[in-house]
Chain A
Amino acid sequence: MIPLYYNVRSLAARRLSTGLTVLGLSLVVFVFAAVLMLSNGIESALSAGGSRQNVVLLREGALTEIGSVVPREAVAVVGNWPQVASSPEGTALAAGELLVIVALPRDGDTFANISARGVTEPSWEARPAARITEGRRPRPGSFEIALGSSLIGAGGGAEVGGELEFAGQRWPVVGRLSAGGGAFESEIWADRNRLGQAFNRPGLTSAIVRLTSPDAFPELKRRIEGDRRFELKAMREDEYWEEQASATATFIRVLGLFVAFVFSIGAVLGAMITMFAQVSARIRELGVMRAIGFSRGTVLAGVVIESALLGAVGGLLGSLGATAMRFVKIETLNFATFSQISFGFAPTPGILLAALLFGLGMGVSGGILPALKAARLGILDAVRA
């Protein structure tokens, strides 16, 4: 076996080529890892808000709350079922909600589409994850609102103590809403009846129901979907939010992975160029190695290892760079709900491992052809070269 030290030394002998190749490989790994972290970030941002113990009721055939209508009677009926949990005071944790989209001005001429959720008292009780971290809850029946924490500081009165203006009303901001990074952090929560008034929308778009236990879901689903009075369907809240994320996350993932794949071919070619140069510059050296008894296999392995080393360093640098992206926050339109969501790059050990392996794989595949060339050298020709 040729010692690893030899490989490191020979790479170091051509600093410029090695450096350029490693940089190229690490850029590819960076894109690969960043894309995975981003789509993971969207999914965890949206699904973090959902509880497995909660059920979202939508009209049959609706995919989002915006495109749904739920009759008030249905919420009253469901509230009496034994599967539904109650608050300590004894009210059923089933709340009809109204989701509308508000165009809020944002720096200058542009504006952002923000989801505004009309809630009632049980909406808060049903979602322990949604907490007020600054200020207080809006008083029921008032125009007060709680602002999702990722909307705070967006300007134009978007802060606790400030005031927003939309739908011909002034809405004082009295609280900052946090939800463990979930989608609610990109929402405005207001009193349902006041919001309905301002938007001329007396109806409900959806309902949230807290179960006595997550296992009660199949029974509730069977009952509500079997009830011919209402054409409703039931979804677990966490699954609902996951589905909301899937279109945007898939878009980013498909686009990003395709680009990373195309890139990787380019980077493999780059590694190949470098390794071919390494081999042809060292023909005599390799011949001597063969002459003193190293086998073809060992020479082959030596070149591949050297190339793998390039890939490993590139992979390491690339994933380090991508991990640094976690301090960047991104805001974009969610195609499914037509409103802004805010999310970040979310690294996981799995993604980092995949990125390292990806870099290593590129290095190895770039080294194979040059290694074969090195291994095929005739000893005499090589030494004479």
Chain B
Amino acid sequence: MTLGQLAFKDLLRNPTRLLLTVLATGIGVLAFVFLQTVISVFYSGLAVTQPDRLAVRSKISITQPLPLSYKRRIESVPGVTRITYAGWFGGRMSETREDFFPNFYVDKATYLKVYDEYVAPADQLAAWMADPCGAMAGKSLAERFDWQIGDRVTLKNAVYPGEWTFTVRGIYAGRTPQIDTTLFAFGYRCINERLPEELRDYVGIYTIVVDDPARSAQVAAQIDAMFANSAYPTRTESERSFQMSFIAMSSAILTAVRIVAYGVLLILLLVVGNTLAMNVREKTVDLATLRALGFRRRHVAALVLVESLVIGLAGAAVGLLLAPPVLSGFVRVVSESFGPIGTVVITGPTYALALGASVGVALLAGLLPALRAARLQVAEGLRRIA
């Protein structure tokens, strides 16, 4: 019998306990994956940022608009190759939170030239461009409300008074799975023409593309200096730090989620450690016998560590298999009762992290019992009645 076979037999000496431990580990891994995915949803905006894109918004606050006339002036800054603008419309189909979705006005002619991660079929794109009040809906948004091309969507809005009807002209997808496909975008012209005088010709935010990302700080400074003394001063920063500023506001919640995720690992450590300690205690006589037969300390320790490794791997397998269905169930329940949440995908790094954490925790939990097994005095071990 090889050492491996011996370890295997040893594992099966208490099948109930093994099963329970693996299940508990699996559930811990599941919770860990879940929490990591929640964190990555917060950060998903970062995954799609590009180093050559800068955001120009009002320095006063994100809810303050910028004049449409800034477009020409920003465009003229050396280094700026493309520019587009967009703004939060905030319309609702009804007053309930459940059927809320993010909706924006954009500059149709330039928007997709800057944000090339959104893709739509060429004919739909042309139809969207041609209709001033045509809207482009994300794939998952269209699925949620079962919208087809040509459907009409009416939104109410408190800031821009009245009812606004848009026709779905296109359905876009993302270039990668992380791209948000829950958005609804229509042309600025459609609403601008109907706005009261004092609201007309103001937009939310400009996005520019610079020719050389290394020079973006210089370009940003130049833009901000241009408007510093106007009634609408700007703050220009890279798309990444723009997104980060939103994440930073939720940082307390994110920290709490992180702490809980590590709490999960701590519980895993306790459960696996408990099992292994019990196993070693119950096997004291066997281990002492092995030592008496001439096995070295390191063999005995390896026996325990192999056991913990198997528990860690099996637990990770259970948890990672359970994670996708549980997560999608959770997303479904939450979006039914509480409105939609962004696109949720478990990323490769999360899987790898969970696998590593599970195995690492299991090995860590095996460390003390393994040491105890290795330090065992042969004579005393043989004498002991477990």
Contacts and interface: CB of A to CB of B under 8 A. Distances in A.
Contacts of A166: 60
Contacts of A231: 161
A199 B61 CA distance: 10
A148 to B, nearest CB: 16
Interface residues of A, number: 64
Given A67-B158, A69-B158, A269-B24, A113 B267 contact: no
Nearest to A64: B158
A23 B161 CA distance: 57
A377 to B, nearest CB: 15
B274 A270 contact: yes
Given A111-B245, A259-B31, A330-B252, A266 B61 contact: no
Nearest to A332: B252
B338 A269 contact: no
B257 A110 contact: no
Nearest to A273: B20
Contact of B157 (A21, A61, A256, A274): A61
Instruction: Name the prevailing secondary structure of the B interface residues.
Output: helix
A28 interface: yes
Contacts of B149: none
Interface residues of B, number: 61
A160 interface: no
B139 interface: no
Instruction: Kindly name the residue among A231, A250, A273 whose own CB sees the greatest number of chain B CB atoms within 10 A.
Output: A273
B271 interface: yes
A270 B95 contact: no
Contacts of B245: 110-111
B92 A16 contact: no
B20 A340 contact: no
A21 B34 contact: no
Contacts of A63: 92, 95
Interface string A73-111: 000000000000000000000000000111100000111
B338 A254 contact: yes
Contacts of B252: 330-332
A68 interface: yes
B224 to A, nearest CB: 13
A168 interface: yes
Contacts of A273: 17, 20-21, 24, 271, 274-275, 278
Given A17-B274, A250-B338, A333-B249, 13 more contacts: A17-B278, A20-B273, A20-B274, A68-B158, A168-B60, A247-B338, A247-B339, A263-B264, A263-B267, A266-B267, A273-B21, A273-B271, A330-B256
7 contacts: A24-B267, A24-B274, A27-B266, A266-B24, A266-B28, A269-B23, A332-B253
